[in-house]
Structure 1
């Protein structure tokens, strides 16, 4: 198969497996999604979803969150790891949203990336899942599978994003990035598949016998 043919095969298989992939982080609006994605850095979605109900019961708008002492935010989000940095970022970005954006999460990638604690991937997740803007946020699962499927060389997350955007139709990006994540968690895990085990790896490379050494994100 050519790279284009592999991409088409992946898209078809994932569409059958996950026709309507749910957003894995629990949220009710752009602000609660932004906070949840920020908390998910170096933390599982399951842990975030166990933590955010308590945080959002305390404050679920930037107006209310900016009134909560940073120490109190930190105590609640401690299970998510990196709590001092994340608590400070949540407090500060909430104040910025009030002062610069009228209390709203901006539907603009550059403005999102200017917020403390919000990197390129987080901003893209919010753009895709809250505002429906075609985006392709690359997490560790996507970065790993793109290499195993020879859709990208793994030089960097940025390069993986560029490569995948070139290969897949723009209208598929928002759903596809979730489909790849779910597949990576269920079938093509970091330890459960080495590029020769899972269904898609076997279908794309039936003659592959050596493990694929992937570069970390």
Structure 2
């Protein structure tokens, strides 16, 4: 069996309340295009060889399973906010005029430990179903805005730096939130951790590598 790490980036900028696995794939970035091409190759290999396969479309991954396993890169909203707070600067919001409740982009965040459990569940499901092919969203099915995320980060870290608003980034969709129904049905899996859990675990990892960031 083979489990492929895909991404919600395959959907591009979907204009739907909840993204299902049937939502048309229209990636707008090279990253999303490579993930979609990877899914095609995985499915084709499965059909040609009888290999059971699963493509897991990750939504926005955050958190750390343990402080020493925390991601040290600054490539998504949580570490980007951590970095600004550590510098004594205000976090940035890229656009607050989107058609969402508070005007900022809404995303579906998933704890990396939940994501790991989804992989285990997928591998077990494939072992019991030779030649089977699965394509599944892996998310919580709950939307959190960028402003809400920054509010939680400030609360967890002990900082109090209101964000500043800068212009939109090209290609950022207003809302991308998973329908998590199929993964629950197919794998019996459901996310356990909420956004506060993600921030708390990620902050422990950040402070481990940036001790100057810790608040008394």
TM over 0.5: no
Q: Kindly indicate whether structure 1 or structure 2 has the higher relative contact order, using CA contacts under 8 Å at least 6 residues apart.
A: 2
TM-score relative to the length of structure 2? 0.29
- Name the one with the larger strand percent: 2
TM-score relative to the length of structure 1? 0.29
- Name the one with the larger helix percent: 1
